[in-house]
Structure 1
Amino acid sequence: MLSFVHVVPRAAHVLPSKESLDFPGERRLRQRVEFNAVMVGKGLPNKCFVIYQRANEVGVSRLGIVASKRVMPTAVARNLAKRTVREAFRQLFPVECALDVVVRVRRPVRREAVAECRESLTQLFQAVQA
């Protein structure tokens, strides 16, 4: 006699809920015109990133990320940089801030240095909000 056992994948118990990781489309800059409007002024640089900001009329804070192939040749490095920036923005920027922010990555984000890059992003985001 065969009996079937329902096995729950281990990852299902470890992953946080979908709600906490949500970054909806209305909080993203998508079009070139929006990026260009924000990047007109002088940016706030540090060794890893440059942040440009501009007030918006939408009423929510929005993020745009520039991670060029010239700076980071591999897609893995670009995706890690974008995930790091997006997560820091989601945690540190309130939705009702009403700023458009563009983050340009200046150097590759290595897996070993994610904490250091996140700290530099935290400092830049706090300077932008002040």
Structure 2
Amino acid sequence: MFNLPKTQILRKSKEISATLFAKPKRTTFFSFHRVNQEKNLFRIGLAIPKKKARRAIDRNRIKRLAREAFRQSPTKPSADLVIKLDTPIGKKTSNRLREVERIQIKKQLNNFFLELI
């Protein structure tokens, strides 16, 4: 796995807040907030709250999966995107991200980026 260039990451809270006001596309675990922009950049921000994923290892894994799906995305539209975890993970598994959930999360992220085509 590779790091994303700084130009592809939303860092300013003002930009993230503006993107979060956009109407989201929802899946089982995530809401995807997207705002088209004039610059020829496709940037990503991640909001993985501690209330939804208790363990740091799970939050970091979700972020890695999201960044990897973003990096491997076949299209790069000119937009800002914030991926927000909405559903608590690990309800039935002592607050741990299990293989079944990891596969579902990866599938939802990949499907979202494929729909951008």
For the pair 1:70 / 2:51, whether they are aligned, the reply is yes
Q: Which runs of 4+ in 1 moved over 3 A?
A: none
Aligned to 2:19: 38
Which ranges of structure 1 fall in alignment gaps of 5 or more residues?
A: 1-19
Q: RMSD of aligned C-alpha atoms?
A: 1.8
- Give the TM-score, by structure 1 length: 0.75
Runs of 5+ in structure 2 lacking a partner? Answer: 91-96
Question: In proportion to residue count, which structure has more helix?
Answer: 1
Report the alpha carbon displacement of residue 49 of structure 1 after superposing the two structures with TM: 0.8
Q: What letter corresponds to residue 122 of structure 1 in structure 2?
A: N
Structure 1 position 125 matched with structure 2 position 106: no
Identity in percent: 26
TM-score w.r.t. the length of structure 2 is 0.82
Find the counterpart in structure 2 of residue 14 from structure 1. Answer: none
Length, aligned pairs only: 109
C-alpha contact (below 8 Å) 1:67/1:105 kept by paired residues: yes
User: CA shift at 1:111, angstroms?
Assistant: 4.4
The structure having more radius of gyration, on CA atoms, is 1
Q: Do structure 1's residue 49 and structure 2's residue 37 form an aligned pair?
A: no
How far the C-alpha of 1:41 sits from its partner, in A, is 1.9
Aligned residue for 2:72, secondary structure, equals: helix
